[in-house]
Structures are given as structure tokens and as C-alpha cells.
Amino acid sequence: MTALAHLGGAPTPTAPPGDRDATRGSYRLLPYLLLLPGAAWLFLFFTVPLLQLAAASLYDPAGSLSTGYALTWAFGNYPDALQAYWPQFGRSFLYAGVALVLALLMGYPLAYAIAQKAGRWKNLLLVCVVAPMFTSFLVRTLAWKTILSDNGWLVGLLRDVHLLGPDGRLLATPVAVVLGLTYNFLPFLVLPLYASLERLDARLLEAASDLYASPTQAFRRVTLPLSMPGLVAGTLLFFIPASGDYINAELLGTPNEYMIGNVIDSAFLVRLDYPQGAALSFLLMAAILAVVFVYLRRAGTEEVL
């Protein structure tokens, strides 16, 4: 995660001193050679499958597994898929967005406290943030089923204080899905934020108060701008997987809470409608890219791009 923290100020690599013309050629090539294994890996296992997926999204929708699919450049698959499943699209971004706000409200103070106020407890607290990730995503989500269970203590408590009606429930509602998303992706937000805030020089805050800034002003003018790279990286790392997630909706929600991930899952595995599944996957990618792009422009962090 520290790598993310350095996104902001990566030092410009300079040629080593004593660089002579004779060796310059090999130095020129070196960075590209170093890139080669990673690039080859990305090409084989990311670019090629992505191209196949792109091709699949343009297959003739009348094809089938037993007759095969012909590539007919059927661009109509895209509007068809969108028309059939726009509610799930909207829901995905809505739930991920609400979860992001909740996660920010909890995650920012948490990251700040760990980075600036925890003293010798810092490492222990960091382990506490990361520790849940040692168990599987699925197990953690199933644990939430127990926590939110109709006969569990939480629902009982909420009923007693009349926040929920006598027959009210949490499980199988949008609330449960959003809570699950918030919990499952919170560490992805907290860790980059922590990395930024940890480098914040406390003397800057002292200087701000010497210059008669109130704590609020100091936060707005010093802390917040300096934590921006971490904040941007963290929100992206949170929002992108959260909007494509389907486990939380599947386990904690009902059909009325299904997100776009559930639809893609069923298109590929249950309905065997590969063109539609591929088209939906690309639409999801495009939508996320668009959201990210607008967000980065507005957040104005040239460094992250």
C-alpha cells in the first residue's frame, strides 16, 4: 500500500552519473526490458481475454452453445442489454455510492487516528484493520448473515428501541447489502488514506495554528489537501470493486436488491447467454471508467492520473 502513497510524488528517474555514450544504448533499453515480463503477463492474461470478451459481446445473439456463435458485429446487444437490466445498473452504483459515503465517514477518522494519534498502538491497529482479510470474503459475508439475522441480538435491539417495527428485519433488505459492501471494502479505503495521512507533518498543523487558523480551517487547508492522493486512491479502490460486487447482494439481499454483477453471473453461468453477459461486462467497465474519469477531473488530482 505504500506504493500508492508515493503515487503523488514519484521522483523523476535520472540517468546515473558517469553515463557515457557507449553505454547509453543499453541504458535506454533497460526500462523496457524490465517492463517486459509484466507487460507480457498483462497482454496474455488481460488483453487477450479482454479482446475475446469484446468479440463475444458482438456475437450474433441468435447463436447458442450447440450451434456456435458467429461474430456478426451485433452492436444491438448493447442497447438490448441496457434496456433489460438498467435497474440493476442503477442499483449497483447507488449501493456502492451510499456504501462509499458510509465508509468515508468511518474510514477517514479511523485512518487519521491510526496515522496521527495512535502512537505505539499504530501497528496493532493497522493489523486490526487488515486482520479480517485473512479470512475469506465469503466467510465474512456469511458472518454478517448471522449478525443481521431476524432472531439475532441486533434486530432484537433495534426492535426494542422501535427503530424497526415488530416485524421489521435487516436481512434481505437494501440496508443489509449496503452494510455488507461497506464492511467488506472498508480496508481498501482505509489503507491508502492511512499511507497519505501518515506522511502528514504535524509541524504543518502547528504552523497553521501559529498563523491563526482554527482547527477546522487547518483541516480544510492543510490536512485534507495533503491527504487527497490517498483519498482519491482509496475511494477508487473502494468504489470500483463495490459496484461490480455480487456476493453481498446474493447473500444478504433478495432478487429486488440484485446488482449488475448478479446479472452477469447468471448470463454466463445459468442462462448461457454469452453475448449479453459480455455486453453487460463491457457496459459495466465503461460506466465505471466514465465515473472514475469525471471524478478525477473534478477532484483535480493530476498526480494520480
Partner 1 sequence: MRSPLRPLTRRGLLTGTLGSAALLAAGGSLAGCGTKAATQTEAGCVSDDLSGTEKTLAFSNWPQYMDVDEKDESKRPSLDEFVTRTGIKVTYTEDINDNNEFFGKVQNQLAACQGTGRDIIVLTDWMAARMIRLGWIQKLDKAKIPNVQANLLPSLLDRSFDRENRIAVPWQSGLAGLAYNGSVAKEIRTVDELLTRPDLKGKVTALSEMRDTIGLLLQSNGHDPANFTAAQFDDALNKLKKAVDSGQIRRFTGNDYAPELAKGDIAACIGWSGDVIQLAGENEKIRFVAPDSGVILFSDNMMVPNKATHKANAEELINYYYEPAVAAKLAAYVNYICPVKGAQAEMEKIDPELAANPLIFPDEALLAKSKVFMALDEQQEREYEGKFQQVIGA
Q: Establish how many alpha carbons lie within 13 A of residue 246's alpha carbon, considering only the half-sphere containing its beta carbon.
A: 14
Q: What is the Cα–Cα distance from 219 to 113, expressed in whole angstroms?
A: 14
| The one segment of 50-58, 115-123, 188-196, 216-224 that binds partner 1 by CB under 8 A | 50-58
| The one segment of 97-105, 112-120, 147-155, 178-186 that binds partner 1 by CB under 8 A | 147-155
Is position 47 an interface residue for partner 1 (rule: CB under 8 A)?
yes
Question: Are the beta carbons of 85 and 101 closer than 8 angstroms?
Answer: no
In 3D space, the residue among 237, 265, 233, 240 whose CA is nearest the CA of residue 250 turns out to be 265
Residue 49: all three cell numbers together = 481475454
Residues 257-286 that bind partner 1 (CB under 8 A): 258, 262-263, 265-266, 268-273
Q: What is the Cα–Cα distance from 242 to 287, expressed in whole angstroms?
A: 13
Is position 239 an interface residue for partner 1 (rule: CB under 8 A)?
no
Is position 124 an interface residue for partner 1 (rule: CB under 8 A)?
no
Is position 70 an interface residue for partner 1 (rule: CB under 8 A)?
yes
For 59, list phi and psi in degrees, rounded to 5.
-65, 155
Question: Are the beta carbons of 164 and 155 closer than 8 angstroms?
Answer: yes
Is position 21 an interface residue for partner 1 (rule: CB under 8 A)?
no
Please, which residue, 107 or 261, has the CB nearer to partner 1? 261
Please, which residue, 51 or 127, has the CB nearer to partner 1? 51
Find the shortest distance in angstroms from Cβ 267 to partner 1: 9
Question: Are the beta carbons of 230 and 5 closer than 8 angstroms?
Answer: yes
Residue 237: CB atoms within 10 A of its CB come to: 19
Is position 15 an interface residue for partner 1 (rule: CB under 8 A)?
yes
Question: Are the beta carbons of 8 and 303 closer than 8 angstroms?
Answer: yes
Is position 89 an interface residue for partner 1 (rule: CB under 8 A)?
no
Please, which residue, 113 or 154, has the CB nearer to partner 1? 154
Residues near partner 1 (CB under 8 A) are: 10, 12-15, 27-28, 30-31, 47-48, 50-52, 54-55, 58-60, 63-71, 145, 149-151, 167, 169, 171-172, 251, 253-256, 258, 262-263, 265-266, 268-273, 302, 305
